[in-house]
Structure 1
Amino acid sequence: MTLIYSAFWGDSVTAAEQLVSKEKSNLNYLVADYLAEVTMGLLARRKASLSRNLKGASKGGYISEFITLVIARLLPDIHKHNIKVITNAGGLDPVSCKLAIETLAADLKIPITVAAITGDDILPRFNDLCKSQSLKPFSPVPGSSPDTLPKGDKEVLSLNAYLGAIPIARALDSGAQIVVTGRVVDSALVVGPLIHEFKWMATDYDKLASASLAGHIIECGAQATGGNYTDWEESAFSLNGGYANIGYPIVECHPSGEFFVTKPSETGGVVNVKSVTEQMLYEVLDPAIYILPDVILDLTRVKIEQVDEARVRVSGARGKIPTELLKVSGIYVDGYKMTGEIVVCGIDAWKKSVVIANAILSRTRLLFAKFGMKDFRATNIEPLGAEHTYGPHARTKHTREVVLRITVHHDDPQALKIFAMELAPAATSMAPGVTGGGSGRPHPSPNLVHFSSLISKSLVTPAFTITNVSEDIPFTGPMSNRTYGDVEKSDGDKQAHTEGEYTLKMPLIKIAHGRSGDKGDTCNIGKEETFLVCGCEFKYEDNVGSAFIEKSGIIARHPKYYGFLKRMLTEEAVRTYMSHVCNGIVKRYVVPGCYALNFVFTKSLGGGGLSSLRVDRQGKTFAQMLLSYEVEVPNGLISRL
């Protein structure tokens, strides 16, 4: 049994305790995923800041909350019940995280064996790798532009290759009870324990694919158990406390590769075909070629079946020989950004807020000219509360209250401080109904940009350290020369005949559900395996060279709707409807096993989770927008709704 309690750095601190307290008698592995591109950027910024303040190398590159809020409280139970813990909380410094756990365990007089997985950090080799052209730009979506490496004097804060599951398995083989990694693919945290437990070979591709899918489904914590779920009321008002006591996911895995998804008893939330299918499609580009270090996962024929009230069976994942390349995730600093918010109330609040925002920017630009400063590199105005994110599909601009959000980008932090000073005077020198945002005067922060590239596995050597012994685990075994962006047409993409005349218009959500989110975030591509972006309304200007991917999975509520969805939701139709947020292309992939369509949007996030000036930096709202799309439903389907 494998349990996951954390989806990201900042997830609920109650999750680990819930799982250990309720499942400790039969719990084998407790897994925690803390990292994403955004997280790596925040860790890099914190580590760099500490290093400057301490005038030397710092140890601030790992998730300290893992030590203080999980290990410090749960180590007695973890040791008593022989629960193994696997986490990427090591971030940029897994060895220091390992030492911190060992120090705490010694203070508690609890014997514990901790291993650290290293080898992902290739920042010291950045210049040499660039000179030798060993870092290769790539394009994850046919027709999109490849990423570019940072140029000029940009400060690169981190550079990490995505490692796989084999080093984790080897550490467990060597007796580790806690394994701390740096940047590995999220699913490896589950695949590693299963390789160790079932003694799978590196060539057991279907089993590795199934394990990868299990890891992928639970890597985002409660998103598999009713969080971020289209039919949200089912989860919010579920028995045992709903959201307030939402259960975190459990996967029960078998040597054959088959697995079940469930949650602890007497917890809120839901585990059903819909919730698990939404999570399966989350952050996946081409469902036929989900590229991971240990296997290429094909999930187009996956079946998800309800077997009990909060329990589903997942089967049908297929695996293919892995690529000889690894994705590399990097973070660099590109100027500074700032967000200011004020509340605007009264009749015509939307109109007033737009006028006020442009006036504040104009006043600031006049001061820039007076002081000999350059103009903003980018600005973005968002009147939140007037359906701003829906663009031309907004149904009201007559709201009497909005939060005016203005985000700006500049090379000089002093220029941003001038902008901050010009926010407050709007209350006395502009339209009536302006009041403070409640958070005080904003402060500039470094604008972190994510970039992605590829590197040969031969140039990266994973290793694990246990007690005081280290062992290299070089990549071995068969590898293909397949690259990101290769196209493989999924089966079952035939245009279905739809009976009857179009008679009733209704929002897509009546016959479909779905979920969206970025596939990581990077400057010109980017998560687990790829990503991209776009411009925003008003005066936003794209960061030079940035392109980010967002994807939305749309799933038929009944198999009989699937042919209709394929007919109606063409790439052109979706691109037209979402044109206010998508400046690139839309690519559609079919997933016939679960009656779904996967849409990938390029140039759609304004720079992604770290550098975007938008309020929705990761495309979390895209599926909700698309589910508002009105479709003409034929007579033959209406009776089935």
Structure 2
Amino acid sequence: MKDTVRIGSYSAFWGDSISAAEQLVSLEGKNIDYLVADYLAEVTMGLLARHRKSPSGPKKPSRAGPGGYVSDFITFVWKRLIEDIVANGIKVVTNAGGLDPIALKEAIEAVAKDCGVEGVVVAAVTGDDLHERSKEMQAKGELLPFNYITGNKDEVDVYPGEEKKKLSLNAYLGAVPIAKALDAGATIVVTGRVVDSALVLGPLLHEFKWDVTKDWDQMAGASLAGHLIECGCHTTGGNFTDWELSANSPHGGWSNMGFPIAECKPNGDCIITKPAETGGLVTVATVAEQLVYEVLDPGAYILPDVIIDLRDVKLSQVGPDRVFVTGAKGRPPTPYLKCSGIYVDGYKITADLWIGGIDARRKALAVGEAVIKRGRKNIERFGLEDFTAVRVEALGAESTYGAHSTALDAREVCCRITAVHPEKQGLLLLGVELAPSATGNAPGITGGGAGRPHPSPNMTHYSILAPKTAVPAMLTIGTGDKQTQTTIPFAGPNHAKNEYPPAIAAAPLPDNNSEETVLVPLIRIAYARSGDKGDTANIGVIARDPKFYPYINQQLTAESVKEYMAHLAQGKVARYEFPGIQALNFVLTRSLGGGGLSSLNLDRQGKSYGQMLLSYKVRVPKGLLSNL
């Protein structure tokens, strides 16, 4: 057994830097044991599903492979780096298989054969694709409602009705099939939809031989390591609140961002770092921001293989660009898997008009309203029903800030008009009214964005649960006569409940209440990071110093955040504590206009919500700010 397993992550999403894998392979070489890559997101699965359902199918030019895999892996990684990967003995684990891991497996093997490279053993993990089985599973009662806030019975995702055109349904599989593939001798493992952290937990199960029925703390720590590096540069200074430190960092800053490496130990602890002489930075703050990213309840971070309690995780700087991570606790998982589905709900269109001059914002809103009214008259003439939804925004005037905007007098804005209609024709009758605005509406209209817009399917995401017993994984490994297929049922408990540990008491205020206080924006004393889960957003807020945490904890409540974000948060707001890193996490349901695929909002994935909340004013003792 190795004392340390080093895992480098080169992709956070489909479309990440094409130089990332080369960076890790060329700079680290034999120092890297595994190269992992996350290509899939809720949005990505929808795009792959749409490609799979396209009438032109694989004949249509696309970066997706014929069956719906991510062909960027072949083009930008495997074909370019095959010899170095094999020569350095690096194993690769990726979910680039998308909707067809078998096809990607065959493509990888074909490249190896063409290059004359031997010793490549490719395994494919399948079983996550429930699309063809979904109707039967629904009839059996195997598809259950999903809840983003446990106990919230008012807001749940359910299986769409029969009238909806379903494109995909994929279960989030766990890490055991990946470990089994590596145990069987695979040097490359490709999967479909698995939880992001499984790409790291799988190799560590293989290397450290943990017992998946009882080594909960070790699996929790490994899953946390996977969570910290699965978003690539998110943990090495990308998307960081103190962005100038990252942008102006040595070795090229943002132009040469370093991708993360997790140095993992048999007890589940890890060190997060990056290659030397690359840009960005790895600090307690950058790692803490990724720790809170897209987490719901930190006391119950539910994964297929383990439930993690993140609340007592500790981060410490142990060297330049080296952060030690410890303290994750695990407990048995639930008997269910989260599943991600996509269906089509009509069509969507987005139109842009650039408008300049005095009163640009007011002009943009008036123009947008007029275009919508003219579009409605057109669809009435043709006997079509009304738009399902419409939205007009003045981009450049802080439209996402609602009543908190400080740019109402902006003199250059983009009038953004978005609409949904059951039929393409209804949106075409709206799009034709865009150009006439230049001569018949406000002064200062300078252009129409990318021209007359075209409708596209309004893909909508939903989440549901399925029992693990109904979703076994399938492992395919080898080629020709030596190819084998093995069914891998979930090995852990099937009846464990999500029993919550005791709640944590609020941090008390220090005994300096008589000291003069000042009102400051939250960014003076905190960092923040936000992300999305369907139509739910999370905002993690981390104290810059432990001395600020009691004041943040006292003033930043679920109620105050709900009030501040009321123009966006249409559902409930729940607050959770991360006392180990002096942080709070807020979960906002119904806050993204439907989610990343179907939302009409400018920010469809809540990426700006954390930065928005950092403008919130908090009161702190004046003396605590003396060193800032």
Which of the five TM-score ranges fits, normalised by the shorter chain?
over 0.9
The Cα of 1:152 is off from its aligned counterpart by: 2.8
- 1:425 is the counterpart of 2:432: no
Counterpart check, 1:595 vs 2:595: no
Structure 1 residue 204 corresponds to structure 2 residue 227: no
Shift of 1:570: 1.2
- What residue is the counterpart of 1:513 in the other structure? 527
Q: Quote the Cα distance in structure 2 between the aligned partners of 1:624 and 1:592.
A: 21
1:125 shift after superposition = 1.1
1:222 to 222, 233, 236: 233
Distance in 1 between residues matched to 2:623 and 2:57, nearest whole Å: 67
CA drift at 1:53: 7.5
| Displacement of 1:50 | 5.3
- Can you list the C-alpha shifts for 1:301-335, whole angstroms capped at 9, x where unaligned? 00000011111000001010111111111111110
CA offsets, 1:211-236, max 9 Å, x none?
00000000100000000100000000
Shift of 1:433: 0.7
Partner letter of residue 15 of structure 1? A
Q: Who is 2:9 aligned against?
A: 4
SS of 2:371's partner is: helix
Listed as ranges, the gaps of 5+ residues in structure 1 are 522-547
Task: Kindly state the Cα deviation for residue 495 of structure 1 after the two structures are TM-superposed.
Answer: 4.1
Report Cα offsets for 1:132-155 as digits up to 9, x if no partner: 111000212133411121113211
Amino acid at match of 1:515: R
Match for residue 13 of structure 1? 18
Whole-Å separation in 2 of the counterparts to 1:371 and 1:317: 61
1:558 is matched with which residue? 545
- Say if 1:499 and 1:635, in contact at 8 Å, map to a contact too: no
Amino acid at match of 2:22: E
> 1:501 offset after TM fit, Å?
4.6
SS of the residue aligned with 2:317?
A: strand
SS at match of 2:132: helix
Shift of 1:491: 2.1
Shift of the 589–40 alpha-carbon distance from structure 1 to 2, 3 Å rule, reads: same
Would the aligned equivalents of 1:499 and 1:636 in 2 still touch at CA under 8 Å?
Answer: no
Q: Secondary structure at the match of 2:245?
A: helix
Shift of 1:437: 3.7
Task: Give the alignment of 1:564-579 within 5 angstroms.
Answer: 564-579=551-566
Residue identity in the other structure for 1:569: L
1:609, CA displacement in angstroms?
0.5
Q: Is the 8 A contact 1:500 1:635 kept in 2?
A: no
Task: Name 2:202's counterpart in structure 1.
Answer: 192
Deviation at 1:380, TM superposition (A): 0.9
> Is the CA contact 2:30–2:89 (under 8 Å) kept in the aligned structure 1?
no
Matches of 2:230 and 2:98, distance apart in 1: 16
2:184 pairs with 1:169: no
2:240 is paired with a residue whose SS is: coil
Q: 2:148 aligns with which of 140, 151, 157?
A: 140
Alignment correspondent of 2:484? 469
Counterpart of 1:31, as a letter, is V
Over residues 371-405 of structure 1, what are the superposed CA-to-partner deviations in whole Å (9 max), with x where a residue is unaligned? 11111100111111001111111112111100111
2:130 is the counterpart of 1:122: yes
Q: Distance in 1 between matches of 2:162 and 2:67?
A: 27
- 1:481 Cα deviation from its structure 2 partner: 3.7
1:580 corresponding residue in structure 2: 567
1:455-494 to structure 2, matched below 5 A, reads: 455-467=466-478, 468-482=483-497, 489-494=502-507
**Mapping 1:73-472, distance limit 5 Å:** 73-111=80-118, 112-141=120-149, 142-143=151-152, 144-202=154-212, 203-467=214-478, 468-472=483-487
Shift of 1:636: 4.5
C-alpha separation between the residues in 1 aligned to 2:57 and 2:72? 22
Q: CA RMSD in A?
A: 1.5
Residues 209 and 319 in structure 1, CA contact (< 8 A), matched pair in contact too: yes
The C-alpha deviation readout for 1:444-473, integer Å capped at 9, x for no partner, is 110111111111111111021001211111
Contact 1:28 1:83 in 2 (8 A): yes
> What displacement does 1:436 show?
1.6
Q: Aligned partners of 2:55 and 2:377: how far apart in 1? A: 36
Partner of residue 48 from structure 2, selected from 43, 50, 57? 43
Q: Distance in 1 between matches of 2:354 and 2:515?
A: 48
Aligned amino acid, residue 160 of structure 1: N
Of 603, 611, 615, 2:602 maps to 615
Residue 512 (structure 1) shift: 0.5
C-alpha spacing 1:91/1:617, structure 2 compared with 1 (3 Å): same
491-500 or 405-414: bigger deviation: 491-500
Residue number in structure 1 paired with 2:612: 625
> Tell me, what secondary structure is at the counterpart of 1:24?
helix
- Counterpart-to-counterpart distance in 1, 2:254 and 2:111: 33
Between stretches 371-380 and 181-190, larger displacement belongs to 371-380
Q: Deviations over 1:503-535 (max 9, x none)?
A: 3221110001110011x21xxxxxxxxxxxxxx
SS of 1:293's equivalent in the other structure is: coil
| Aligned residues of 2:57 and 2:66 also touching (Cα < 8 A) | no
Which amino acid is 1:432 matched to? Answer: P
Matched-pair identity in %? 54
Give, in whole Å, the separation in 2 of the partners of 1:478 and 1:396.
55
Secondary structure, aligned partner of 1:402: strand
Q: Tell me the number of residue pairs that the alignment of Structure 1 and Structure 2 aligns.
A: 610
- The answer on whether the counterparts of 1:502 and 1:632 sit within 8 Å (CA) in structure 2 is no
Task: Verify the 8 A CA contact 2:391 2:419 in the aligned structure 1.
Answer: yes
**Structure 1, residues 140-186: CA drift from partner, whole Å, max 9, x if none?**
21334111211132111111111000000010111111100000000
> Which residue number corresponds to residue 68 of structure 1?
75
SS across alignment from 1:609? coil
Q: Alpha-carbon deviation of 1:417?
A: 1.3
Partner Cα separation in structure 1 for residue 589 and residue 98 of structure 2:
28
Query: 2:3 maps to which residue?
Result: none
Aligned partner letter, 1:113:
V
Give the letter for the 1:493 counterpart: A
- Tell me: CA distance 1:480–1:496, structure 2 relative to 1, closer, same or farther (3 Å): farther
Q: CA deviation at 1:584?
A: 1.2
| 8 A contact 2:552–2:618 mirrored in 1 | no
Partners of 2:167 and 2:433 in 1: CA distance: 32
What is the CA–CA distance in structure 1 between the aligned matches of 2:34 and 2:526, rounded to whole Å? 35
What amino acid maps onto 2:110 in structure 1? T
Q: TM-score, normalised by structure 2?
A: 0.95
Q: Secondary structure at the match of 2:133?
A: helix
Does the Cα contact within 8 Å between 1:295 and 1:321 map onto a contact in 2?
A: yes
Contact 2:378/2:430, CA 8 A, preserved across alignment: no
Offset from partner CA, 1:66-125 (integer Å, 9 cap, x none): 111110101111111111000000001000110111111111111211100011111111
1:59 deviates by 2.9
**How many Å separate the matches in 1 of 2:449 and 2:148?**
41
User: Which residue of 2 is the match for residue 541 of structure 1?
Assistant: none
Indicate the SS of the match to 1:417: helix
In 2, Cα distance between equivalents of 1:247 and 1:115: 29
SS at match of 2:223: helix
